[in-house]
Chain A
Amino acid sequence: MTRSPILPFLPFRIFPEQASTLAPRTDHLLYFLLGTSAFMSVLIAALIVWFSIRYRRRPGNEVAIQIEGSNKLEIFWTVTPLIVFMVAYAWGASVYFYAYTPPPDALQVYGVGKQWMWKFQHLSGQREINDLHVPVGRAVRVLLTSQDVIHSFFVPDFRVKQDALPGRYTEAWFEATEAGTFHLFCAEYCGTLHSHMIGSVVAMEPAAFEQWLAGGATLSPAQRGQKLFQDLGCNTCHRSDTLARGPDLVGLFGKSVRLQGGGVVTADEAYIRESILDPAAKVVDGFQPIMPTFSGLVSEEGIIDLIEYVKSLQGEEKPGP
């Protein structure tokens, strides 16, 4: 049984641990709102109790003193809360921006929710179910999707939450500040064993994490992606020579792509995913929409592998112009 460090006589905690860089930011806003709310609640309650006693009906106070109202007071208690609210709004928005803006050097992990488990994929090859190992002191970016219904990635001690939606990528990030094992919950109701879709985020000291990464690694996603790329026959069209019927993918990731009909799109994870599942949606200028859909043929994890493979094609320089 864990006890609260603030009120240790209670048999339960009051605030969760602060185990990420986001947690104190969220909590400071909470303290501000708690303070304001406590003040208001106590004020209203005290006034009600005081008036109820002071102005109770009794001989000598059978008749009330009639007061119609006061415009000054009304304006006062309209404007004052509004100012406090706008402070809370701006503060909340700034925490929100922090919570959803990962630093560019963040370590990337893929997370796929399915009834009723979390599957994680490290870029170095480790796959985990319901556990997520991360290093302390380094930002971790979790790219989320779902294989069936909506789930939600929730780590209370990090104050992080983001729904994982089928058919889309969403993103959460955090930077753990202390080593330990923290609850990972699914927070969006997802069916019968919703409450069993829980796991742990294990934050490890960087050295320990490196050691963990080295052990038991199989093929990396990019390597698996390369194999899948060949198995599915993608390389028959996506190639750099003159037989190419689809765009060459080398050096594609992160670049802007000109589309048929004049649009421009950045080749990010979501675009590559869409191009695999719904190839006709955004066709690259100069190519025919002949690619068949791979929807139903590739699992969400397979798509992740393919995306990582396309990303890995980044470094190889094209031979000659």
Chain B
Amino acid sequence: MTAAPVIIAPEVEENYLNVRYGVRSWLLTKDHKRIALLYLMAITGAFFVGGFFALGVRLELLTPAGDLLRAETFNKFFSMHGIIMVFFFLIPSIPTVLGNFLLPLMIGARDVAFPRLNLASWYIYMIGAGFLSYTIVAGGVDTGWTFYTPFSTIYSTTNVITAALGIFIVGFSSILTGLNFIVTTHKMRAPGLTWFRLPLFVWSLYATSIIQVLATPVLGITMALVGLERTLRVGIFDPSLGGDPVLFQHLFWFYSHPAVYIMILPGMGVVSELVPTFARKRIFGYTYVAYASVAIAFLGFLVWGHHIFVAGQSMYASLVFSMLSYLVAVPSAIKVFNWTATLYKGSIRLTTPMLYALGFIGLFTMGGLTGLFLAALGIDIHVQDTYFIVAHFHYIMVGGMVMAYLGGMHFWWPKISGRMYPEAWGRMSAIIIFLGFNLTFFPQFVLGYLGMPRRYWSYPDEFQVLNVLSTAGASILGVGYLLPMTYLLWSLRYGAHAPANPWQATGLEWQIPSPPPEHNFERTPVVTRPPYDYPGPEESRG
């Protein structure tokens, strides 16, 4: 093996990566940056396991007949795909990796408020993941990620209890991360860093944490009730014993709708960092974007009933939930308009992170607009539980959140690893992912309106052409995801050494070396300027 061509041998400064070595120094670390990397490894694993199941689902749907997998296996595949992606990848991804790494850096703190709790969260996540791995090995679970009763409590013959336990446990990891971030944001900010000088990523993390802290316990208790019901059969959600299955759906969606905002809000935060940086411009309407995060977090709690318009919810409740659902779309729209306005008269560079950010805006806009269709009672009757829903939430979660996550990973990769990623490869993969994504999921909107129900193992022949398009897109998307994985790993060894501030960005995290030293700041910074304080020409207006 030949050594990498090193042009200048840089003096290796002591940083958080090389200050200590050995497995113990990682597994017992209290450093938020190292914990972020522990999470990065865990959720990357979850992403590829979940992706494997998605691949199985898409391949099965290539033909109308159920021929590749057996029906039982197919049902387990989409259930495991949903459970892993939602609870073990999407929800923890940006907060635990980018959030953990960046929150203390962005607010000028030496660490989060509770470093030991932070490490404990990771172990709790791993224990939950352990239960889920056991579930997979023991034969999977076939309830879908929604665990609707009485199917999950009585009729399913698969490993519902271990899966529910895994979700119950991983929920506590999420709660403790949220708690940690709330306290950190309130009490650990550097002198002079007032609320309205905070980077928007911090605002969005804060809003996310509120949801995590207040919604997750309800999911925990609901999963516990499902597990107990399955063991003891006491009738809590069982109509034959007086229970109400729709009540389960209320409790489930009280968490699982805001959970969508746990996924998307941090993504919005990332985009709010990327757009000003690569337009070299202050964000348009900072306070509106900041308050929009909080408004989304709050309104997101009031709309869960739109998941059960046709499930036997009362007409009155449906009318209320439909109207509230439209309200939550307003702050999302505000964000999109402000990001777009930020580009106006900027000095724009279409780097990899910026491509991801612009891709996010486009895909999130489409996901959000199709959400308006679902909030409309009349249309929801028709498209509920069809591929229209599947397409809609993939536009938000994959098109939105995963694009933002990858954009953020590229943007902060120099800070995290101390190396630059290959820019040409980066741009290419961003474009491949964007195209592959649209090819995968756009046909599903059409499929859904035509009436193809979700979670179908086989389907009538006339849906085949659109399904083939979707599967073709999925294979492109798969390649698109493997590319960054490969070249980012490659850059760890062969990438150019990163300067402290490769993007000439303004945040506090760029004022310290890449990678950062163990305790972040030699002395606590004092903040005197607003965020995104990019230079303007002398004659700049406003």
Contacts and interface: CB of A to CB of B under 8 A. Distances in A.
A292 B460 CA distance: 47
Given A67-B541, A85-B329, A11 B378 contact: no
Interface in B262-296: 279-282, 284-288
Contacts of A99: 378, 381
B334 A187 contact: no
Nearest to B380: A92
Interface string B352-370: 0000001001100110011
B351 to A, nearest CB: 10
B446 A161 contact: no
Contacts of B534: 64, 66
B347 interface: yes
A26 interface: yes
Contacts of A77: 333-334, 337
Interface in A75-95: 77-78, 81-82, 85-86, 88-89, 91-95
B348 A52 contact: yes
Interface stretch (A54-62, A123-131, A236-244, A308-316): A54-62
Nearest to A159: B382
Nearest to A66: B536
A174 to B, nearest CB: 11
Given A26-B382, A41-B369, A11 B333 contact: no
Contacts of B542: 66-68
B240 interface: yes
Given A163-B310, A165-B246, A195 B376 contact: no
A187 B384 contact: yes
A285 interface: no
A301 B286 CA distance: 62
Given A12-B465, A192-B71, A45 B362 contact: yes
Contact of A150 (B151, B285, B322, B384): B151
> Which of A25, A44, A152 neighbours the largest number of chain B CB atoms within 10 Å of its CB?
A44
B450 interface: yes
Given A69-B284, A78-B334, A163 B312 contact: yes
B377 A96 contact: yes
Contacts of B361: 44, 48
Nearest to A13: B450
B349 interface: yes
Given A48-B362, A64-B280, A37 B380 contact: no
B423 interface: no
Interface string A1-34: 1100000000111111000000001100110010
Contacts of B466: 12
A207 interface: no
Given A2-B462, A73-B341, A156-B382, A44 B457 contact: no
A48 B358 contact: yes
B239 A92 contact: no
A25 B75 contact: no
A274 to B, nearest CB: 11
B201 to A, nearest CB: 18
Contacts of B362: 41, 44-45, 48
Contact of B284 (A67, A160, A192): A67
Interface in B490-542: 534-537, 540-542
Contacts of B48: none
B378 A37 contact: no
Contact of A47 (B280, B329, B343, B379): B343
A167 interface: yes
A70 interface: yes
A296 B9 CA distance: 81
B379 A65 contact: no
B451 A156 contact: yes
A47 B75 CA distance: 42
Contacts of A161: 310, 381-382, 384-385
Given A66-B282, A68-B282, A88-B326, A52 B312 contact: no
Given A29-B379, A64-B279, A88-B326, A189 B465 contact: no
A284 B57 CA distance: 54
A68 B532 CA distance: 10
Interface string B213-236: 000000000000000000000000
A278 B279 CA distance: 68
B365 A41 contact: yes
A105 interface: no
Nearest to A58: B347
Given A51-B340, A195-B71, A195-B459, A57 B349 contact: yes
Contacts of A227: none
B319 interface: yes
Contact of A190 (B151, B336, B541): B151
> Which of A47, A65, A162 neighbours the largest number of chain B CB atoms within 10 Å of its CB?
A65
A74 B342 CA distance: 13
A152 B144 CA distance: 16
A73 to B, nearest CB: 7
B323 interface: yes
A33 B343 contact: no
Contacts of A93: 319, 322, 377-378
Interface string B147-176: 010110011100000000000000000000
Contacts of A196: 71, 458
A170 interface: yes
Interface string B448-464: 01110111111111110
A263 interface: no
Contacts of A98: 378
A96 B347 contact: no
A56 to B, nearest CB: 5
B537 A1 contact: no
23 contacts: A2-B462, A12-B446, A26-B382, A52-B343, A56-B349, A65-B281, A67-B282, A67-B341, A67-B344, A69-B287, A81-B330, A92-B322, A93-B322, A94-B378, A150-B150, A160-B381, A160-B382, A167-B240, A183-B460, A187-B385, A188-B148, A189-B455, A194-B457
Given A66-B536, A166-B240, A187-B386, 4 more contacts: A16-B449, A48-B361, A78-B334, A167-B240
The 9 closest A-B pairs by CB, nearest first: A156-B451, A95-B378, A167-B239, A92-B376, A96-B377, A69-B285, A66-B536, A51-B343, A64-B281
Interface of A: 1-2, 11-16, 25-26, 29-30, 33, 36-37, 40-41, 44-45, 47-48, 51-52, 55-57, 61-70, 73-74, 77-78, 81-82, 85-86, 88-89, 91-96, 98-100, 115, 148-150, 152, 154, 156-157, 159-163, 165-168, 170, 183, 185-196, 198, 278, 295
